Amino acid sequence: MILIIVAAVIILDQLTKFIATRNLLLNHPFDIIGGIFSLTLVHNRGAAFGILKNQIYLFVFTSAFAVILIYSELRNNKHRTVYSVALSLILAGALGNLIDRLLFGYVIDFLDFHFWPVFNVADSAITIGAVMLGWTLLFTKEKNVS
């Protein structure tokens, strides 16, 4: 199940980024819901919210390190739990954005809710996984969480 989640998120992330780069102009919003949601192609050279711009080596190193740690935790956790799904989503998102950084030197973002920084499918997977992970660690009594 973990492999399916990771593969599905990476494929969806890379496919949507490919479609966005082929159909959108850089930094030119395409309105979907006026004033609320647009598709806006952005090359994010920073981390979350664009902080630490142009630190590609730092981002590649920390992403690769996080991928190794999460993969290691998933291999050691033999139970199929919300914890494993959460880690799988975070792993997939990290890999999706790492692929961009390695190929282009930046992350391709295109989902633009005007009240939030532009993001992508990988960012969404990381966020959903982090919320699930936090919920699991705070509010469940799973004994297999290490």
76 close to 126: Cβ distance less than 8 angstroms: no
C-alpha to C-alpha distance for 73 and 64, rounded to whole angstroms: 14
Residue 123 a catalytic site member: yes
Q: Which residues pair with 42 in a beta bridge?
A: 109
C-alpha to C-alpha distance for 92 and 60, rounded to whole angstroms: 15
Residue of 13, 100, 109, 112 marked catalytic: 109
Beta strands per DSSP E along 17-122: 30-33, 37-44, 107-113
Q: What angle do CA 86, 104, 73 make, to 5 degrees?
A: 25
Q: Which residues pair with 109 in a beta bridge?
A: 42
Q: Which residues pair with 37 in a beta bridge?
A: 33, 113
- A 10 A CB-CB count for 16 gives 18
Residue 100 a catalytic site member: no
Residue of 13, 100, 112, 123 marked catalytic: 123
Catalytic residues: 109, 123
